[in-house]
Amino acid sequence: MILTPKGLEALRSQLIVSCQAYPGEPMRDPRTTAQVAASAVIGGAAAIRVQGLADVQFTRAAVELPVIGLWKDGHDGVFITPTLRHALAVANAGAHVVAIDGTRRSRPDGLSLSETVAGIHADSHALVMADCGSFDDAVAAVEAGADLIGTTLAGYTGERPKTDGPDLELLEHIASAGLDKPLIAEGRIHTPAHARQALDAGAFAVVVGTAITHPASITGWFKGAMHA
């Protein structure tokens, strides 16, 4: 199945679940990622987001929904699918959508965002999700040809405060600009009410990660509330 820009319509107002475990964690195994993804599908996820080439491959085999893939390399600066090489590897692993750093920062391979997007479109069938950190990033990413705009990096690049919960102000700002690409709310959507608020702020679809698929964090939230 090739996902086209038109096909994205199936994701309108839907929940996308990000399934990620971090290096060294007990669940950091692509088979586990795929099992968690399949479980999210039972709950009603309309698409799945996963990190790592093997995770993309295993998840593609386990679910029939669109898979958004990324490759995190490093922790600082541009680390979400930072280069065209990373992006094409994610596409070749089977991702329908490749999520890449969609900020205005310089990229390790020296390519611009528009050159990166063009390179992905030229050499794969994948759509491109630009993980943005600000309104200006979102505008630039649309101009660069990205197929979806995500607020993934809001609060992580210094341009926006790290809000408790989703950055609703940013979502409203981008949504009201009428940028004509699906706006994906992502980042710190920790409750069903947050997800609803993100849709009400104008998001086309909502990605939830930690609050559904990261037991260590969720356990910590409960424990913290009990001992506050």
Q: Is 159 near ligand LRY (CB under 6 A)?
A: no
CA atoms within 13 A on the CB side of 113: 27
User: Which residues make beta-bridge pairs with 205?
Assistant: 184
Contacting ligand LRY within 74-103 (CB under 6 A): 80
Radius of gyration of the chain (CA): 16
Please state, in angstroms and rounded to a whole number, the distance separating the CA atoms of residues 123 and 92: 10
Binding ligand LRY (rule: CB under 6 A), the pick from 48, 186, 195, 198 is 186
Provide the minimum distance between the beta carbon of 108 and ligand LRY in the complex, in angstroms, as a whole number: 16
CB of 141 to ligand LRY, least distance (A): 15
Interaction of residue 134 with ligand LRY, rule CB under 6 A: no
* C-alpha closest to that of 117 among 96, 105, 95, 99: 99
**Positions in 114-133 near ligand LRY (CB under 6 A):** none
**Shortest-Cβ-distance residue relative to ligand LRY:** 209
Helix (H, G, I), strand (E, B) or coil at 66: coil
Token duo for residue 74: 């490093």
Q: Which residues bind ligand LRY (CB under 6 A)?
A: 18, 20, 70, 80, 152-153, 156, 186-189, 207-211
